[in-house]
Amino acid sequence: MRWQASLFLLAILPLAQAQQQGGAQRHGHGQGHGMARMREEPGRAAWQKPDEVMAALAIHGRETVADIGAGTGYFTRRFAARAATVYAVDAAPRLLERIAALQLPNVRTVPAAADDPKLPAKSTDTIFFCNVLHHIDGRPAYYGKLLAALRPGGRIVVIDFHKRVLPVGPPPSMKLSEEEVEREFEQAGFRLARRHGFLEYQYFLEFRPR
């Protein structure tokens, strides 16, 4: 589809704006700095609960984390305070430049392709998606590349919006249900290892290879 090449840029669209403008933004380009400012609005923390997410993940000091669709670094910054190495993965060069400007010594920016996260083989302990997975087409093949990037014992974490009308996030037609995500990962050779239930608008799942 036409918007696939900019899927990671679209993943950082301001959520309320995505609801209002729907399909027009899925094809949009540019305006990255304005979108980034809105992504960083403090109101997000009330429903995203980033501190609680970090506590639940219990990232340890020897861990390598890949933040897929890192955007402005909303979670990248938090991973950097806990992990040994963080891959900030995005297809938008201007957003990666923004993360690089933070000069976090343990963060490496990774220019991704729409169908490939470009992670080194067996490099990563935790691969993290937040509000991104529903933008990816060709997910079965993509999951195979994620599996190749995981170290033994590694995990994939998915946080995304429930497939219903919500006060934040995209419309239901753009979303993946929790059941769809579980089924796809199971078919790709993963098992659901843990489910967290404290986010009001999103499911929060951890998968590990079978």
Percent of the chain with pLDDT over 70: 80
Angle at 12 between CA 35 and CA 53, to 5 degrees: 125
Q: Which residue has the higher pLDDT, 126 or 29?
A: 126
Q: What predicted TM-score, i.e. pTM, was given to this entire model?
A: 0.83
Looking at residue 5, what is its pLDDT?
A: 37
- Check residues 31 and 157 and name the one with the higher pLDDT: 157
| CA dist 113 → 74, 93, 184 (Å) | 20, 11, 21
pLDDT tier for residue 137 given thresholds of 50, 70 and 90:
confident
So what's the pLDDT on residue 39?
Answer: 63
- Could you tell me the maximum CA-CA distance found in the chain, to the nearest angstrom? 42
Higher pLDDT, 30 or 138: 138
- Summarize pLDDT for 54-90 with one digit per residue, the tens: 999 999 999 999 999 999 999 999 999 999 999 999 9
Q: Cβ distance 129 to 69 under 8 Å?
A: yes
Q: Hey, how many other C-beta atoms are within 10 angstroms of the C-beta on 41?
A: 11
Crossing angle of helices 139-149 and 178-187, rounded to 10°: 60
Q: Name all domains of the chain by residue range, CATH numbers in brackets.
A: 2-209 (3.40.50.150)
What digits encode the pLDDT tens for the residues 27-55?
222 334 444 544 667 799 999 999 999 99
Q: What is the DSSP letter of 119?
A: P
